[in-house]
Chain A
Amino acid sequence: MSTVTFKVFRGDRNGGELKDYTVEVQEGMVVLDAIHQIQAEQAPDLACRWNCKAGKCGSCGAEVNGKPTLMCMTRLDTIDTSKPVTVRPMKTFPVIRDLATDVKWNYEANKKIKPFTPAPGTDWIMFQEDVDRVQEFRKCIECFLCQNVCHVLREHDEKTGFIGPRLLVRTASLEMHPLDVENRLDMLKNEGGIGYCNITKCCTEVCPEHIHITDNAIIPLKERVVDEYYDPVLGFFRRLFGSKKRAEPSGQAADD
């Protein structure tokens, strides 16, 4: 058994500092285990949010040695523990205390997205190949690490005119649902602010569920917005015949 030093952020909205704690490390331990050990033995008021400890709930996001990650899925033997390990809260959200941040903005911004609206009278037949891509988006555990690293939110703090990668993924899961008939393109263009995203893929890199956020969700949505609002030929026809929601191209697979 060896000992590792952790530098853990202690503080609140008004500021704080890194404090040193020494932890005895066992085989297989993750960062969250170390935080719990500190809590139980040295700092009972050390605040940290967690639930499942198995990468399924997305509660324990933090920045370990500067890298945004789920603490419960970060094994100590995958990081350099010869030097002190720094653990800070996610930077993009206001600190409540220590490692717990105030993420309620995400829940508020979510309300901009129109809910699932199925086609009336549908028979609910859907084929696996048609739902595969929606299921990818629905793997999201709402850890908000993608929101945390998105520079539009992190550096520019653009939280009024932009909904961030998590909520773009949620929009994609609805827009690409084979039976949904709602149109969310206007929201994406305006209050959703999809144009702010310049595809640096930082969100995709940190996603613990390995969702291809940029390639599979954001870029196709960007294309739809462009088609809807900026394509001169389509625009001409729309003025002639009125606008309809596009047919799902993958719907063809249903005939196989």
Chain B
Amino acid sequence: MESYTTYDYDVLVIGAGGAGLRAAIAAIEKGARVGVVTKSLLGKAHTVMAEGGMAAAMGNVRSEDNWKVHFRDTLKGGGMLNNWKMVENYTKEAPDRVRELEQWGAVFDRTPDGKINQRNFGGHSYPRLAHVGDRTGLELIRTLQDHAVKMGINAHMETTIYRLLTEGGAVVGALGFNRQTGEFLVFRAKAVVLATGGLGRIYQITSNSWECTGDGFSLASMVGADLIDMEFIQFHPTGMVWPPSVMGILVTEGVRGEGGVLKNSEGKRFMFDNVPERYKGEFAETEEEAERWLQGDRNARRPPELLTRDVVARAIRKEVNEGRGSPHGGAYLDIASRRPADYIKKKLPSMYHQFMKLGNLDITKEPMEVGPTCHYVMGGIRVDPDTQATNVPGLYAAGEVAGGLHGANRLGGNSLSDLVVFGRRAGMAAAEYAAKQTGSYQVDEAQVRAYIAEALQPFNNPQGENPFALMKELRATMQKNAGIMREENELKTQLEILANLKKRAWNTSVSGGRAYNPGWHTALDMRLMVEISEAVVLAALARKESRGGHARLDYPDPDPTFAKLNHIIRRSSDGTLNVVAEPLPEMPEDRRKIAEAKDLKELSDKVGA
């Protein structure tokens, strides 16, 4: 019989990106014994790839900035579908979380008076992103990693969780395996925090690393946790489009924050023609005004290149579809003609390096070619806005895997600070819950045995399919049928394809041994990826309107009915997924005034922000 090793923790954190590490630190501070599981080595999680910065209304560059302006910007960018209480918690706490990182050793870029510098980004009314050149994610993860090591975390590196374990409806641990050896591990835990990140790998063109296979969404859904807003996928407007092998790799929004402009093949700055009704009056209307803004004129409005990501991504797609794209099917992103070469190399060093090495292009001399790439999922596991608790006892979620904060579209820079604000809250709440669980560890041996047998099945299935080919098929069809622009027939087709892929995902074959076997890992990833793909498609079918990261060709406009609804994706007892529409949580009158302020002047006049 297959053997396994058992570990006991008060709090098990799954994922070691920004949210997971911050949760672990918070739980340790509460006195919990904490284990952290990560599919990669420590410090390699997808957080490391974040570039532009972390948003927090610190007011270091523009003293007018405060949480209320950030609150309004976030809700407005999110199509007002955000959970308002999460947004409030987030915008109020983000500055403290940034300062805390500095106190743990992070070294952010500085203002002339020696404070943490902040840069402009899409959808933010003021320069708000604390940053380190264009490698802010690396700074964040290394700081948290160092601090977590100082606090004494137990890290299980290169370990995959296959399933959560339950007892009497509560989560009591997880079954995983060591990727290096193939050995099975049982984690018995009083509380579990999911911090597994996103699902970009279900799409063909993505900025996400191999890890982003949506594990947490599926693991949670399988034990009965509700998901929310899964139709909202962020296609970042600027991914590399050439050469083919780097298609989708991110080009930071910081390029536009530093003054970069988007042009079509006719040399026209097309974003001036793409300002949506709700943002009219807040952006520069001429190139001359945009130029004055870049030079620091505070009376000039922001250039339309700094509109929200959903808007910019669709505008680029439109230019390409109407025949005004660049040679490789993107738009031109030009910083070369806007800033001196030295400045570009100082502020955007990894972009310079990335294009030089991978694209044979000097961004200080020539424009880049860019196009949309799947970057982020706004939806996720539904959580309590204060504790990050799911509807399943003992299960918490934080970071990209949790839903609610970003509504229909996330503002750039709002992710890194999301990780630390809600990672901390989840870690604290999980530790408090764990402290109340006085009974002994409960794990159902039969459940463990059944899952191990399931996980090993591809080794005993010589006639099964190649898991890599299967994954390729999933990603290509999701891209085609449930990508940046959607319509009913394609989504329905995709549901049929997924039903078929779901069966085939349980009929794969792998060769070789269990030690560090990517074929096996891919086979098991596929089982989770088809589940979460289905949730995305079902929610996308149900929302018959266009809003934020969900755009329907057959319903091209926002619909006031859907403006009041979140979609909950719930698994019924027979295992099928269903979409339930629920009214948004009621926003109190004083908060509504902030959220709905027409512009910054009204915001400051009416609510004193």
Question: Whole-angstrom distance between the alpha carbons of A86 and B469 in the complex?
Answer: 26
B311 to chain A, nearest CB (A): 25
- Complex interface bits, A45-89 against B, C-beta within 8 A gives 1, otherwise 0: 111111111111111000000000000010100000000000000
Known: A46-B518, A142-B43. A54 touches B49 (CB 8 A): yes
Task: Check: B298 CB closer than 8 A to any chain A CB.
Answer: no
> Which residues, 497 to 516 on B, are CB-close (under 8 Å) to A?
510-513, 515-516
Q: Decide: B48 and A56 in contact? CB cutoff 8 A.
A: yes
Q: Within 8 Å of chain A (Cβ to Cβ): is B4?
A: no
Q: A28 contacts B512, CB within 8 Å?
A: no
Decide yes or no: A125 and B115 within 8 Å by CB, A75-B357, A107-B42, A177-B107 being known contacts: yes
Q: A125-B114, A138-B142 are in contact. List 12 more A-B contacts (CB 8 A).
A: A12-B515, A33-B245, A39-B519, A44-B467, A51-B48, A100-B516, A102-B180, A110-B149, A118-B103, A124-B99, A128-B109, A138-B139
Taking the complex as formed, is A234 at the interface, i.e. its CB lies under 8 A from any CB of chain B?
no
Check: A30 CB closer than 8 A to any chain B CB.
yes
Whole-angstrom CA separation of A107 from B146 in the bound complex? 10
Chain B residues within 8 Å of A, Cβ to Cβ: 40-46, 48-49, 99, 102-105, 107, 109-110, 113-115, 132-133, 135, 137-139, 142, 146-147, 149-150, 157, 180, 209-211, 242-246, 249-250, 350, 353-354, 357-359, 466-469, 472, 510-513, 515-520, 522
B49 contacts which of A12, A56, A127, A254 (Cβ < 8 Å)? Answer: A56
Contact of B243 among A26, A118, A131, A141 (CB under 8 A): A26
- What is A's interface to B at a CB cutoff of 8 Å? 12, 26-30, 33, 39-41, 44-59, 73, 75, 96-98, 100, 102-104, 107, 110-111, 115-116, 118, 124-128, 131, 134-135, 138-139, 141-142, 174, 177, 254
Closest 9 CB pairs of A and B: A28-B243, A45-B512, A44-B519, A116-B105, A125-B114, A40-B468, A47-B516, A97-B516, A128-B110
- Chain A hits for B353, CB < 8 A: 55
| Most A CB within 10 A of own CB, among B40, B139, B242, B357 | B357
Residues of chain B within 8 A of A110, CB atoms compared? 149
Contacts of A141 in B (CB 8 A): 48, 138
Q: Which residues of the other chain, B, contact A41 by a CB distance below 8 angstroms?
A: 468
- Tell whether, in the assembled complex, residue B135 and residue A139 are in contact, meaning their CB atoms are under 8 Å apart: yes
CB pair A55 B157 closer than 8 Å: no
Tell which of A28, A48, A107, A254 touches B246, judged by Cβ atoms closer than 8 Å.
A28
A110-B149, A131-B110 in contact; A40/B472 too (CB < 8 A)?
A: yes
Residue of B nearest to A47 (CB): B516
Residues of B within 8 A of A30 (CB): 245-246, 358
Q: Bound complex: CA of A40 vs CA of B466, how far in Å? A: 8
Interface pair A59/B40, CB less than 8 Å apart: yes
* B518 pairs with A47, CB closer than 8 A: yes
A131 touches B107 (CB 8 A): yes
Find out whether the CB atom of A59 lies under 8 angstroms from the CB atom of B44.
yes
List the A side residues contacting B359 at CB < 8 Å.
Answer: 28
A45 touching B511 by the CB < 8 A rule?
yes
Residues of A within 8 A of B46 (CB): 51-52
Contact of A39 among B43, B44, B250, B468 (CB under 8 A): B468
Q: Which of A46, A103, A118 contacts B41 (CB 8 A)?
A: A103
A138 touches B114 (CB 8 A): no
For B133, the closest partner residue in chain A by CB is A135
User: Cβ of A56: which chain B residues have Cβ within 8 Å of it?
Assistant: 48-49, 135, 137-138, 350
From B41, B48, B358, give the contact of A73 (CB < 8 A): B358
**With A45-B510, A45-B512 known to touch, is A51 a contact of B209 (CB < 8 Å)?**
yes
Query: Is the contact region of chain A dominated by helix, strand, or loop, or is it mixed?
Result: loop
Q: Contact between A57 and B110 (Cβ–Cβ < 8 Å)? A: no
Q: Known contacts being A56-B135, A75-B358, is A44 close to B243, with CB within 8 Å? A: no
Nearest residue in A to B468 (C-beta to C-beta)? A40
Shortest Cβ distance from B135 into A: residue: A139
Chain B contacts of A58 at CB under 8 A? 44
A69 to chain B, nearest CB (A): 11
| Interface contact B512-A44, CB-CB below 8 Å | yes
Between A and B, 24 residue pairs with Cβ closer than 8 Å are A44-B467, A44-B510, A45-B513, A45-B520, A47-B516, A47-B518, A49-B40, A51-B211, A52-B46, A54-B358, A56-B137, A57-B40, A58-B44, A59-B40, A100-B180, A102-B180, A115-B105, A124-B115, A125-B113, A131-B107, A131-B110, A138-B138, A141-B138, A142-B44
Evaluate contact between B48 and A52: CB separation under 8 angstroms. Answer: yes
A52-B209 contact in complex given A57-B49, A100-B516, A128-B109, C-beta closer than 8 Å: yes
- Residues of chain B within 8 A of A26, CB atoms compared: 243-245
Q: A57-B48, A177-B105 are in contact. Are A126 and B518 (CB under 8 A)?
A: no
Q: Write out the residue numbers on chain B whose beta carbons fall within 8 Å of the beta carbon of A174.
A: 105
Smallest Cβ distance from B465 to chain A, in angstroms? Answer: 11
Known interface pairs A100-B516, A116-B146; A73-B246 also in contact (CB < 8 Å) = no
B515 touches A138 (CB 8 A): no
Give the chain B neighbours of A40 by CB distance below 8 A.
466, 468-469, 472
Residue of B nearest to A138 (CB): B107
For residue A115, which residues in chain B have a CB less than 8 angstroms away from its CB? 105, 146-147, 149-150
For B515, the closest partner residue in chain A by CB is A97
A111 and B149 within 8 A (CB): yes
CB closest residue in chain A, given B349:
A139
Distance of A97 Cα from B181 Cα, bound (Å)? 10
Cβ contact within 8 Å between B249 and A127:
no
Closest B-chain residue to A72, C-beta based?
B358
Smallest distance from the beta carbon of B114 to chain A beta carbons, Å?
A: 4
A55 adjacent to B211 (CB under 8 Å): no
Q: What chain B residues lie within 8 Å of A46 (beta carbons)?
A: 518
Contact, CB under 8 Å: B110 / A96: no
Contact partner of B519 (CB less than 8 A), chosen from A28, A45, A55, A135, is A45
What's the least CB distance linking B116 to chain A, in Å?
A: 8
B245→A98 contact, CB < 8 A: no
User: Are A51 and B40 in contact, CB atoms less than 8 angstroms apart?
Assistant: yes
Closest chain-B Cβ to A35's Cβ sits at a distance in Å of: 10
Residues on A with beta carbons closer than 8 Å to the beta carbon of B512:
44-45
Query: Are the C-beta atoms of A254 and B517 separated by less than 8 Å?
Result: no
Q: Which residues of B contact A118 (CB under 8 A)?
A: 103
Provide the residues of chain A in CB contact with B132, threshold 8 Å: 135, 138
- Considering only CB atoms, which chain A residue lies closest to B50 in the complex? A56
Contacts of B109 in A (CB 8 A): 128, 135
Q: Known contacts A28-B245, A50-B210: does B516 contact A96 (CB below 8 Å)?
A: yes
Nearest B residue (CB) for A40: B468
Structural contact, A127 and B517, CB atoms closer than 8 A: no
A73 & B517 in contact (Cβ 8 Å cutoff): no
Q: Is the CB of A57 within 8 A of B44?
A: yes
- Complex Cα spacing A124 to B303, Å: 33
A residues in contact with B469, CB < 8 Å:
40
Residue in B closest to A116 when the chains form the complex, CB atoms = B105
A54: chain B residues within 8 A (beta carbon): 49, 246, 249-250, 354, 358
| Closest Cβ–Cβ distance, residue B303 to chain A (whole Å) | 26
* Bound Cα distance from A55 to B250, whole angstroms: 12
On whether A44 and B468 interact (CB within 8 A), knowing A28-B358, A54-B354, A115-B150, the answer reads yes
A59 and chain B: residue at smallest CB distance: B44
Decide yes or no: A126 and B468 within 8 Å by CB, A44-B512, A103-B41, A139-B135 being known contacts. no
Measured CA separation A5–B214 after assembly (Å): 35
B243 contacts A124, C-beta separation under 8 Å: no
